[in-house]
Amino acid sequence: MDIGSVGIIGAGQMGNGIAHVMALAGYDVVLNDVSQEALDGALGRIEKNLDRQVSKGKLEQEMRDAAVARISTTLELDPVGQCDLVIEAATEREEVKQKIFDALVPKLKPETILTSNTSSISITRLASRTDRPERFMGFHFMNPVPVMSLVELIRGIATDQETYEACLAVVEKLGKTAASAEDFPAFIVNRILVPMINEAVYTLYEGVGNVSSIDEAMKLGANHPMGPLELADFIGLDTCLAIMNVLHDGLADTKYRPCPLLTKYVEAGWLGRKAGRGFYDYRGDTPVPTR
């Protein structure tokens, strides 16, 4: 299938990043959200990020302007349904995604490929509740989307080869690399990454080290560009907790128990950078560890 238009549901951190790279690659993009404020904010962030690429000499001004012109926004699902490829990039809660698909499916063209940017939820289960499980798959971008070169492509049990090849062609057109993953909880990247973060939180919880020492140890001792607690704040502690719950529920192994301290931070609303506080407090000029 020849894909020329892409609908994106959710104008948050992931959705606006996906819109950015899709428009830059030449796709017509329809960006949807339930809030006009979110859509306006997303467009502002996209333009700011494109301007940064221009200022660094990575992008011509004409390409930047053309990319912006390819993005339209809407509060309605009807224009999204007319796209060749739809990527759901809403919050990492299955009931939210399911409500979106229930409302969207009647508006889709018969040939539209429907995908989810979920980082952990079963693709097979999401697909089974739509009218096109053979044209449904996981299309998982890494954050921040314009910078990270990997995309996980996850086939559900019913996903057909044509759908996979069409999505693979999109990834290649974006100039990114695809990693094919089987449909098991958290797929590849988060199956490995988020339990490492959870273990870092346990290390903090048990008093083995404080926030600074844990992050410095992993940056200098394992050559990680970012410490695990700093990374958790960047991802969002609510997202980390959601992924750990998916792993724990889906694999029934006690090694995937979410750390009680991670749960406590989420209960406090200390979700990381986006909330101004997480394992670091971001409300001042420099981040300050909260433990």
pLDDT tens track, the chain, 291 positions: 789 999 999 999 899 999 999 999 999 999 999 999 999 999 999 999 999 999 999 999 999 999 999 999 999 999 999 999 999 999 888 999 999 999 999 999 999 999 999 988 999 999 999 999 999 999 999 989 999 999 999 999 999 999 999 999 999 999 999 999 999 999 999 999 999 999 999 999 999 999 999 999 999 999 999 999 999 999 999 999 999 999 999 999 999 999 999 999 999 999 999 999 999 999 999 999 999
Residue 140 is among the residues annotated as catalytic for this protein = yes
- pLDDT for 261 equals 98
Q: Which domain holds residue 120?
A: 5-182
pTM higher than 0.85 for the full model?
yes
- pLDDT for 25 equals 97
CATH code for position 220: 1.10.1040.10
- pLDDT for 1 equals 75
* 113 and 69 housed in the same domain: yes
* 95 and 159 housed in the same domain: yes
* 203 and 175 housed in the same domain: no
* 101 and 224 housed in the same domain: no
Count the domains in the chain.
Answer: 2
Write out the binding residues. Answer: 10-15, 33, 92, 97, 119, 143, 274
Residue 210 is among the residues annotated as catalytic for this protein = no
Q: Which one of 182, 209, 237 terminates a domain? A: 182
CA distance 17 to 21: 6
* 82 and 173 housed in the same domain: yes
* 211 and 78 housed in the same domain: no
- pLDDT for 91 equals 87
- pLDDT for 263 equals 98
* 45 and 149 housed in the same domain: yes
Whether the CB-CB separation of 12 and 89 falls below 8 Å is answered with yes
* 109 and 54 housed in the same domain: yes
* 79 and 140 housed in the same domain: yes
* 150 and 261 housed in the same domain: no
CATH code for position 64: 3.40.50.720
Q: Which one of 182, 214, 234 terminates a domain? A: 182
- pLDDT for 203 equals 98
Q: Which one of 164, 182, 200 terminates a domain? A: 182
* 59 and 196 housed in the same domain: no
Write out the binding residues for NAD(+). Answer: 10-15, 33, 92, 97, 119, 143, 274
Q: List the catalytic residue out of 119, 120, 122, 198.
A: 119
* 53 and 95 housed in the same domain: yes
Residue 119 is among the residues annotated as catalytic for this protein = yes
